[in-house]
Amino acid sequence: MTLNSIHSPVDLKKLARDQLPALADELRQFVIDSVSKTGGHLSSNLGTVELSIALHYVFDTPRDRIVWDVGHQSYPHKILTGRRDRMHTLRQFDGLSGFPRRSESEYDAFGTGHSSTSISAAMGMARAFQTKGEKQVAVAVIGDSAMTGGMAFEAMNNAGVYEDLPLVVILNDNDMSISPAVGALNRHLARLLSGNVYSATKRGIDSVLSIAPPLREFAKRLEDHAKGMVSPSTIFQEFGFNYFGPIDGHDLDALIPMLQNVRRLALEGRGPQFLHVVTRKGQGYELAEADPVLYHGPSKFNPEEGVKKSTTPALKTFTQVFGDWLCDMAKADPLLVGITPAMREGSGLVEFEKQFPERYYDVGIAEQHAVTFAAGMACEGMKPVVAIYSTFLQRAYDQLIHDVAIQDLPVLFALDRAGLVGADGATHAGAYDIPFLRCIPNMLVMTPADEAECRNLLTTAFKQPHPSAVRYPRGSGVGTIPSTELPVIPLGQGELRRRSNAITGQRVAILAFGTLLYPALEVAEQIDATVANMRFVKPLDIELLKSLAQDHDYFVTIEDGAIQGGAGSACLEAFSAMGIYKPVLQLGIPDVFVEHGDYRLLMSQCGLDSAGIAKAITQRFPAIALTAT
């Protein structure tokens, strides 16, 4: 088999051109087989098989840098760059990351995971090459969805300033189709426009007409008009790029000559190049072609049968609880609007869009715009609910402070994927929301312990005339059944879930935030501790803390977020302000980027399972072990 002989791009370049289609077929099947065993992103990777082959066949990698935007489509790239034998470890603890990672391979030029960053990073590399006097090319591969991110346009606007920048941007467009006739014409024109004849002729005309600027400008307009008749908008040319395409991204006979031409132009100092390729998500696997959303990030499955829905009833996820609540609250309040930055399925908005299409807004991968858009609606009396992953809200922090909080606008942020997220790893972990939210004036922060409380706290937050956030993890909780009503919990009021019977001098109180309440209750049975379900990080239940301080000697705070500046820190600040000085053990996510792996394993590694919590408490407070049952 051809694929088995490929251990690096050096081996790939030894193949004849007519061997590459067969390699593409093998590579595509290998991706399907690998992802079916480990889970991971599938549709997007099947769409980049030929593009990955062509890039490594043409460019001098790793000397030429390839930056994959988001990076969830980089599996073929990983396989071609010496990691084929480790694909069975994909997204597992100590295994391959599901995204490009600099520490994993010299071929991973830039670590990614969030979108719209590739052009900026590649531009920085290209300018570094020029500064050091090196002849190299930086390539950014960006999808059509990622192009909706403002950062991509900021980068292009800046890149156009440098007329000799050795930068190639490849737009991987998988949301449009090309009919055979149009595709052939565009392929011919694109190759012609990037070839030697066109470039030489253009230089000659520029030279001849340089003495007559009006004629040169007229010729330029004529050229743009002619190209515009058979190619998309010249917006990329207006940014200062040489635009070519669109071409079929699955046609190696089209891709390779085009990439050779744009690489040559970039090395010759002809400025930044822009190649538009059209691919199809799920290409080559009929089930994924038919439903690329379902096969975007499947769990393990049988490739012959495809992804099968479980026949056993599953616990409702927090995301589903949110989606149900949103529809119910929208029925109760006509001013509610739902906003998402391109995460309709992931954030649970599918049913809301069906029921309330006029109140549903998907703004694309544009988190900053989503937040300020919500602020604008709130200014006019609407009640926006922004459904967003915790890790993606980080991208709109300035807007959160400047446009929402300073104006004290009632925008509710439903923060999905709070805490660790397992296989997606550090780039997607929602570990930092409590610290970066609770320091903002006017902001309310709530941490439901289970599904029922999640619904109640969403209602509570929605009813407040202030900005608020309700954070909840990926997946399901303990399985509590939410009410069909829309009850409100008193703002800033926690609850005691267990009272210790220990003697004075050995009494410990565990202050639990979020879903870690339940392992805390397990531990409390072992060491006879008091357990408080705090529910609110801000405002904190000061009266509850004061009451517990009267008859407890030790305190433990538990949260599934960063310890530094987190909910435990809020408790320490409150105790200090009240003049209460008791030993406090803070448990949470440590000051490291937690890598990818099974969620339960990662929580155990962080000491946040019941065994880890019990061990930390008895080590920190040896007297507590004496009361263990």
Which segments are annotated as binding site for thiamine diphosphate? 72, 113-115, 174, 285, 367
Q: What six digits make up the tokens of 366?
A: 């544009």
Q: Which residues are annotated as a binding site?
A: 72, 113-115, 144, 174, 285, 367
The end-to-end CA distance of the chain, in Å, is: 62
CB-side neighbour CA atoms (13 Å) of 574: 22
Length of the chain counted residue by residue:
629
| Residue 132, C-beta contacts closer than 8 angstroms, at least 6 positions apart | none
161 phi and psi angles, rounded to 5 deg = -70, -30
Binding site for Mg(2+): what residues are annotated?
Answer: 144, 174
Which residue, among 279, 269, 261, has the nearest Cα to 189 in the 3D structure?
261
- Is the distance from CB of 83 to CB of 118 less than 8 angstroms? no
Looking at the annotation, which residues are catalytic? 281, 367, 395
Q: Three-class SS of residue 427? A: helix
Q: Are 269 and 24 in contact (CB under 8 A)?
A: no
Gyration radius of the chain's alpha carbons:
28
Of residues 528, 590, 574, 530, the one with CA closest to residue 555: 530
Distance between CA atoms of residues 466 and 178, nearest Å? 49
* 331/426 Cα distance (integer angstroms): 37
Closest of 601, 539, 591, 535 to residue 563, by C-alpha: 591
Contact, 477 vs 595, CB < 8 A? no
Torsion sign, CA atoms 350, 355, 357, 359:
negative
